[in-house]
Amino acid sequence: MKQDNLNERNKEFVQAPLQQPVFLNSVPKCGTHLIRNIMRMFVPVEQQYHDTFLQIPNLRGHLRALSPEAPKLSWGHMLFSDDSAMAISPARHILLVRDPYSWVLARARFFLSENFDGGIGHLRSDKLEPEVLMNLMIFGIHGKAPELKDIFTFNAAAWLGTHACLYRYEDMVQHLKDINSLRAEQYFRQLLTDCGIAVPDDWRERVIIGSDKAQSSTSRDNLDVDDSRLPDVLPDAQKKLVDYAVPGLRALLGYA
């Protein structure tokens, strides 16, 4: 994975210490690196938890990332459970999701990329028609990759109604494209406020640096992948399959 230089860029700005832990939780392939890199520009490097992406399997070994005694900014893909809810309870909790329609394609591109090593490299074979690949993203690969329903149920839906603050990837991207607008300012001010961070006058410059695609190893532009087999928009047949697999999910997340 390509290394970024955001720790060095962070030092160009005056950083106020965190007063409370902040956890950036996301569904995999929903803009994890984007929100992480943006927020890294607002927190002292020494208060950023770079040891790992927090997940259920490694949570007990990294509880210090969420300790209120030594507040840090951390990130990961945290399944909803009693243990994870207890661990996150002291932290400000940001939950990032993506439209399940576009998520299917984002996940497929990542699985096709040379960046991904999950024991399913055979998916890159052109013998597999793109419609089959998209359906595998929706319904999972038995014993190898979970289905969309499980991922969105435990990484997103189950956290709703708690103190987690829901954010949508598409909204963030839209406001980045129109960063000088009043609506973008309101959006990023709310994000920083939800993270317990005072909004500095130079917030826009920090956001622009953090959101630079060149700084993200998992950005579509930086993936080593031939995704010409995949459409830019999910076909109607696969949209219907998403609605069949997870009825009501898109409405629950604010997409319908």
What are 22-69's pLDDT values in tens digits?
A: 999 999 999 999 999 999 999 999 999 999 999 999 999 999 999 999
| CATH code for the part of the protein at 1-256 | 3.40.50.300
* Beta strand ranges found along the chain (DSSP E): 22-26, 73-76, 92-97, 165-168
Asked if residue 226 has pLDDT above 80, the reply is: no
What pLDDT score does 111 carry?
Answer: 85
Q: Say yes or no to pLDDT of 183 above 70.
A: yes
47-59 residue pLDDT tens: 999 999 999 999 9
**CA–CA distances in Å: residue 9 to residues 36, 212, 222:** 14, 12, 20
Confidence at residue 37, expressed as pLDDT on a 0 to 100 scale: 97
Other C-beta atoms closer than 10 Å to the C-beta of 170 total 16
**Structure-model confidence comparison of residues 144 and 185, the more confident one:** 185
Please report the pLDDT score of residue 215 as a whole number: 77
- Say if residue 148's pLDDT is above 90: yes
Bridge partners of 23, per DSSP, are 74, 93
Give 187-224 pLDDT, tens digit per residue: 999 999 999 999 999 999 999 999 998 876 555 565 56
Say which DSSP state 211 is in.
Answer: T
Q: What is this structure's pTM?
A: 0.92
Hunting for tokens 């990023």 — which residue is that? Answer: 188
Task: Read off the pLDDT of residues 79-112 as tens digits, 9 standing for 90 and up.
Answer: 999 999 999 999 999 999 999 999 999 999 988 8
| Residue 218: per-residue pLDDT | 56
- Cα distance between residue 245 and residue 145, in whole Å: 16
